[in-house]
Structure 1
Amino acid sequence: MQGYDGNPYLKDGCRDINECVDPQPDYRCVKNAICNNTVGSYTCTCRPDFSGDGYTECNRENPQRKIQNIYLIIGITTGVALMVIIVFGWSYTAFQRRKMSMMKKKFFQENGGFVLQQRLTREEGPSHTNTIKIFTADKLEKATNGFDKDRVVGQGGFGTVYKVLVLSQINHRNVVKLLGCCLETEVPPLVYEFISNGTLSEHLHDKLKASALSLDIRLKVAAETAGVLSYLHSAAYPPIIHRDNKSVNVLLDKNYTAKVSDFGASRLVPADQTELSTLVQGTLGYLDPEYLQTSQLTKKSDVYSFGVVLVELITGQKALCFQRPEEERSLAQYFISSVEKGHLFNILDDNIVSDEGDAGQLKNVAVLAQRCLNVKGDDRPTMKEVAAQLEAGSRLKHSWAQTDQHSEEIESLLHDTQPLGFGYEYSEHSVHIDSITSHVTLPFPGGR
């Protein structure tokens, strides 16, 4: 048998021929080939750097061609990989776009977009000038530079489309104008006009900015803010309780005109009710202690919060500060205590106490703030009364100085008022325990 020799008639008489050791003329690899013996046969392979079948030829390879072949293989492999990546990327992008489109439609429907569209369609007309606009998520993202945090002016929320519609009808020169909303996101942003001069809080608590806030400017801001709350309580229909009035939510334009913002926590008051039972929501330091204790929200809750803002305006101190001694942490309680001890002028902002002619005016403002901060809501004035007094003081500045004839009465009020008898521990800067969803409010550069 080919590949074997020996006597086939004997057991194990046939032996494999190692063609590589004892090559036969017919069993021979060509030059530059490597012989490999196998049982009954052999194989030939060309040495490295040679090409051919090993049986008939083995030619030295061209190094340049070898490199070209490597490049060709790499090129083909890379091209195929790029094609796969491009096809996959296009498919993934298309899938994500479809998914995003479906999510936008889902959020738009869940956030009451279709209801809002119907309401706006019914209300459109030449006599309806305050209709809000529904912004798309893409347009809003572009307008805010990808929702840049520097363009977020605050956080608030709205619970229903109805509330957004009501807020869009508020037509007051000292209220930040609601331009529209976007309902294509899980957390619907509200779009307001852009007010460029920052918040009242920034101006009060920055030494350089605070020095530019004269007493006249501060009382003008107080009068304008009180006017807004009076309007919401008495002129808006249905009446609105702001519920989160604080210096951060009062914006200032370049002329230091107040613009009240962030109605995210506001509540509409049904015509047949004077108070609302609700889970507590607001900011500690400004939060009405009676509301905190009873969960009964009334217009007088806004009066208390405004009282804290008024004290902030004349003292320049923060409503709540854990860096101060324990008895001074709550500005409202510290103010009441200081007034009762006759230390009013010890806690007033140095920027507004330099003129002795303002002493009577400051005492009157302190009395008004003390009334607003009364622990019992029924004993607080209405916002209409507060606004009227502050507006009168702004128009007739010199009338504040004519207090000598009433000085005994004022001093009596400053010393005889009962102390604030409700105390509670502050564990966080704000309380938000409500079912209303939080929403981010963003400025829109196209606003006024």
Structure 2
Amino acid sequence: MRECSGGGPQVLDWSIGNQTCKQVGSASICGQNSVCLDSTTRTGYNCKCKAGYDGNPYLQEGCRDINECTNSSPIHRHNCSGSSTCVNTMGHFLCSCPSGFDLNATANGCMRQHKSENHRSIIIVLGKPPSLVLNFILCELKRRMRHMKNIELRKQFFEQNGGGVLRQRLSGEGPSNVDVKIFTEEGMKKATNGYEASRILGQGGQGTVYKGILPDSSVVAIKKSRLGDSSQVEQFINEVLVLSQINHRNVVKLLGCCLETEVPLLVYEFVTNGTLFDHLDGSLFNSSLTWEHRLRIAIEVAGTLAYLHSSASIPVIHRDIKTANILLDENLTAKVADFGASKLIPMNKEQLTTMVQGTLGYLDPEYFTTGLLNEKSDVYSFGVVLMELLSGQKALCFERPEYSRHLVSYFSCATKEKRLNEIIDSQVMNEYNRREILEAALISVECTRLMGEERPRMKEVAAKLEGLRVSETKHQWSDRYTEPRVNEQLSYVETISAQGDMSSSGYASRM
């Protein structure tokens, strides 16, 4: 940035060529140990050194390894502690312990190995025949070799699961509201009773969630990613980084993670009452949500999204808001979950160009066609959730008649033709809440406008819904409701219905 005479500050913004990274392929000018990134402000691409490297990414050997062991920068310096020694490796570093000590992954310090069993064994073989002594020595050597192999394997998994990158980013500059605890592999096995099938809370495309019991008897949810999917590691790191920026009572709390296993594990607070999807679908719960419950849940989720967009230390776009990602506790308090697809938005940007990700039925059509992600994408998804709360029907269901298959188009059409009574859940509407429900329906239609600029912000939505709870007289949104926009919306939903699902749910595995 520089000051120009007679003017304000100017920012230099540039990119290479007019092709994306995918289009340019191996012909990009990015050097070794760098990555190609699509420009977020114009056509073309830029180059950036990989994590653990620094320098000029446009030179063939411009990105050089950062020696975290000697670097004094708080962003890049190692965090080995106690008697552990920093060992630099290409792109990251390891903490090494002297002979007779094991590395404590939680504190990156060293702890003395237990030797009582070895000494006892040596005493037992004294006076025994040489053949027995030889057998003992061979068994002891095998045991020690297995032990060392397990240590090396855990270190390998730690780096493979992004431990070095995650540790570097969490120890860097910037605010962090979550104390992320590092759990051991042994601790996770004990907590899940060896990943027993009876402990499974849910399964899906992203992996499996287990109920875990920690040594202090606290109950947690442990998410285990699928094997063999490298993209899961990136989402895992992303989720830890995003949740480390968030402290909100309606966001599921991340307690820590385990990096010593073949696939990374995330440990969350245990939310007891399933998902909003479970309650509306009736597949797991018989209890019927009243209108008061539904309105309060809508207010809590809207307030949470408003916080993420406007009040968090770094703005966050969730990117996969749906009923399956809203957990409910014993008091039916909403907890927004699964931040694996979320994006942190830099303060100087309002939108990002990303690979489209989300769930059919909830996916913002504008984001789907342009790849431009902004807070209005979450607004659209929330509008669909609000329609589900009002109707009790799924966002997308191919078992329904064609005219009602897509909830957004069905709901919008019913609103336009003034026949909302046909679609509103008969269990919740009565003569006393009719006005509130109809106004909530109009809010949901506003949120699902085809064009993002025509949708309200989540702050407005949260305030409007809160107003429904405390006042009978409301400003009608219907004067902004025009028929042509609805017709555009109806035709568009059909276009994206044939695409595949790109989503996860619940603790990132409830479906």
TM > 0.5 fold call: yes
Deviation of 1:273 after TM superposition, in Å, equals 1.4
Deviation per residue, 1:320-374 (Å, 9 max, x gap): 1111122222111111122112221101111112x11211111110110000000
Question: Secondary structure at 1:431's aligned position in 2?
Answer: coil
1:418 equivalent among 486, 500, 505: 486
Deviation per residue, 1:36-75 (Å, 9 max, x gap): xxxxxxxxxxxxxxxxxxxxxxxxxxxxxxxxxxxxxxxx
2:56 corresponding residue in structure 1: none
Distance 1:410-1:157 versus aligned 2 partners, 3 A rule: farther
Distance 1:342-1:182 versus aligned 2 partners, 3 A rule: same
Deviation of 1:211 after TM superposition, in Å, equals 5.0
Deviates more, 1:158-167 or 1:99-108: 158-167
Does the 8 A contact of 1:278 with 1:295 survive in 2? yes
Where do 1:21-170 residues align within 5 Å? 98-117=148-167, 130-147=178-195, 148-150=199-201, 151-152=209-210, 158-159=234-235, 161=237, 164-170=240-246
1:194 corresponding residue in structure 2: 270
Distance 1:379-1:122 versus aligned 2 partners, 3 A rule: closer
Deviation of 1:168 after TM superposition, in Å, equals 2.0
Deviation of 1:174 after TM superposition, in Å, equals 0.6
Q: TM-score, normalised by structure 1?
A: 0.68
The one-letter code sitting in structure 2 at the alignment partner of 1:307 is G
Deviation per residue, 1:187-222 (Å, 9 max, x gap): 322211000011111011107946531101101000
Rounded Cα–Cα distance in structure 2 between residues aligned with 1:121 and 1:256: 36
Does the 8 A contact of 2:320 with 2:341 survive in 1? yes
Distance 1:118-1:284 versus aligned 2 partners, 3 A rule: closer
Deviates more, 1:421-430 or 1:198-207: 421-430
Rounded Cα–Cα distance in structure 2 between residues aligned with 1:121 and 1:425: 41
Does the 8 A contact of 2:245 with 2:314 survive in 1? no
1:298 matched to 2:341: no
Rounded Cα–Cα distance in structure 2 between residues aligned with 1:272 and 1:183: 33
Q: TM-score, normalised by structure 2?
A: 0.60
1:380 equivalent among 437, 443, 455: 455
1:317 matched to 2:398: no
Rounded Cα–Cα distance in structure 2 between residues aligned with 1:192 and 1:145: 17
Does the 8 A contact of 2:257 with 2:264 survive in 1? yes
Deviation per residue, 1:250-302 (Å, 9 max, x gap): 01111111011110110111122111111111111111111111111111000
Deviation of 1:163 after TM superposition, in Å, equals 5.7
Does the 8 A contact of 1:135 with 1:180 survive in 2? yes
Deviation of 1:378 after TM superposition, in Å, equals 0.6
1:344 corresponding residue in structure 2: 420
Distance 1:88-1:262 versus aligned 2 partners, 3 A rule: farther
1:358 corresponding residue in structure 2: 433
1:49 corresponding residue in structure 2: none
Distance 1:222-1:244 versus aligned 2 partners, 3 A rule: same
Deviation of 1:415 after TM superposition, in Å, equals 6.3
Distance 1:210-1:308 versus aligned 2 partners, 3 A rule: farther
Distance 1:157-1:339 versus aligned 2 partners, 3 A rule: farther
2:60 corresponding residue in structure 1: none
1:240 corresponding residue in structure 2: 316
The one-letter code sitting in structure 2 at the alignment partner of 1:388 is A
The one-letter code sitting in structure 1 at the alignment partner of 2:440 is V
Rounded Cα–Cα distance in structure 2 between residues aligned with 1:390 and 1:368: 8
Distance 1:440-1:260 versus aligned 2 partners, 3 A rule: closer
Instruction: Calculate percent identity across the aligned residue pairs.
Output: 46
Question: Secondary structure at 1:192's aligned position in 2?
Answer: strand
Which sections of structure 2, spanning at least 5 residues, go unmatched?
A: 1-135, 202-208, 211-220, 226-231
Does the 8 A contact of 1:157 with 1:439 survive in 2? no
2:258 corresponding residue in structure 1: 182
Deviates more, 1:109-118 or 1:258-267: 109-118
Does the 8 A contact of 1:341 with 1:415 survive in 2? no
Where do 1:258-297 residues align within 5 Å? 258-297=334-373
Distance 1:292-1:412 versus aligned 2 partners, 3 A rule: closer
Which sections of structure 1, spanning at least 5 residues, go unmatched?
A: 1-85, 444-448
The one-letter code sitting in structure 1 at the alignment partner of 2:191 is A
Find the structure with the greater CA-based Rg: 1
When the two structures are aligned, how many residues end up with a matched partner? 345
2:502 equivalent among 409, 431, 435: 431
Deviation per residue, 1:3-52 (Å, 9 max, x gap): xxxxxxxxxxxxxxxxxxxxxxxxxxxxxxxxxxxxxxxxxxxxxxxxxx
The one-letter code sitting in structure 2 at the alignment partner of 1:141 is K
Does the 8 A contact of 1:284 with 1:320 survive in 2? yes
Does the 8 A contact of 2:366 with 2:451 survive in 1? yes
Rounded Cα–Cα distance in structure 2 between residues aligned with 1:370 and 1:389: 13
Deviation of 1:230 after TM superposition, in Å, equals 0.6
2:328 corresponding residue in structure 1: 252
Larger RCO, structure (CA 8 Å, separation 6 or more): 1
> Which is richer in helix?
1
1:231 matched to 2:231: no
The one-letter code sitting in structure 1 at the alignment partner of 2:188 is L
Deviation of 1:428 after TM superposition, in Å, equals 6.2
